[in-house]
Amino acid sequence: MSNMKRPMNIDKKRAAAAVALVAVGILLGILLFRQWASTRWSPEEMAVREKSFGALQEDYLELQEKNRSLNDGNKVLKSRLEAIEGVGSDHYSLARLLEEEVALLEGLSGLIEVSGQGVVITVTPNDSTPISANMLLQLANELRSADARAIAVNGQRLTALSEIRDTVDGFSVNRTTFLATEPIVITVVGDGANLLLALSMPGGILERWRERDIDVSTDIVENLIVAGIAQWQYDYMFDNSIVVDDDSEE
C-alpha cells in the first residue's frame, strides 16, 4: 500500500507544479501584453485610460458645453455676415449696422458698463470641494452659451482675455485674488429666464455642483449693473511685452 501511495503523491505534486507553471505563464503573458500595449498607446490615450469614470464624464460634459458654445457663436457670426451682405449699397443702413457692431463689441470686450435684467449666482464653497478655476471657466462657458451679455465674478468683469487661475488659497480673476473659503457672487446680464433654464438643465453644471454638496443659489434680478474692467487690467491684457508663467499647469 505504501508503494501505491508514493506514486499518487508524486502525481499530485507534478499536477500542482504544472498548474502553478501555467498560472505563472498566464500572468507573465498578461504583463507582457500590457507592456506591449503601453508602447502602442499615445500619451493622450494613456491619460484617458488613467482617469476615473467620473472624471471622464466631467470632461465629456465640458466638451459638450464648448461645442454648443462654438456652434452658437458660429450662428451669430453667420447672421451678422448675412446682415452686412444684405445691406448692399445702402450706406445709411451700413453705418447704423456698424454702429451696432461697435456697441456690441465694446460690451463683449468689457470696456463699458452693461446693465439690464440678469441673474445673480451665489456659491458657498465647502471645505471638501473648493471652487477651482476650471469650475468657474465651465460656468462662464455655460452662461455665454445662453447669450449672457456680461459676466462678473466677485465684481471682476470677464472678457475674452480674462485670466482665471488657481492660487494657493483660492483663485484669481483678472489678477485679483479671492479666498476659496469666501462666498462667490457671479452677476450675469442677460435674459434671466433663459440663463436659469441653461443652468438648470439635467446634468448641467449647477446640478453637478449640488451633487458635490456645493451650496448654489440663483435669483433673477431686473436691473443688474456689471461694470467694465479697470484701466490697469485693460492695459495688462493688451500689453504684449508681458510674459506670465502658467502656474496652473505646474
CA 39, 40, 42, 46 torsion-angle sign? negative
pLDDT score of 245 more than 60: no
Whose cell is 451696432? That residue is 100
Q: Which of 11-25, 72-86, 147-161 has the highest mean pLDDT?
A: 147-161
Q: Three-class SS string for 44-80? A: HHHHHHCCCHHHHHHHHHHHHHHHHHHHHHHHHHHHH
Q: Considering the chain, what is the average pLDDT of its residues? A: 75
Contacts of 41 (CB under 8 A, 6+ apart): 49
160-183 tens-digit pLDDT: 778 888 888 889 998 889 988 889
pLDDT score of 246 more than 50: no
pLDDT score of 188 more than 90: yes
Q: What pLDDT does 244 receive?
A: 45
Q: What pLDDT does 14 receive?
A: 67
Mean pLDDT is lowest, of 72-86, 132-146, 209-223, for 72-86
Mean pLDDT is lowest, of 36-45, 51-60, 91-100, for 36-45
C-alpha cell of residue 45: 490615450
Task: Give the mean model confidence (pLDDT) for residues 216-232.
Answer: 83
Contact indicator for 200, 185 with CB cutoff of 8 Å: no
Q: What pLDDT does 205 receive?
A: 81
68-126 tens-digit pLDDT: 766 766 776 677 777 776 776 777 777 777 777 777 776 666 777 888 999 999 998 88
Task: Give the mean model confidence (pLDDT) for residues 131-158.
Answer: 87
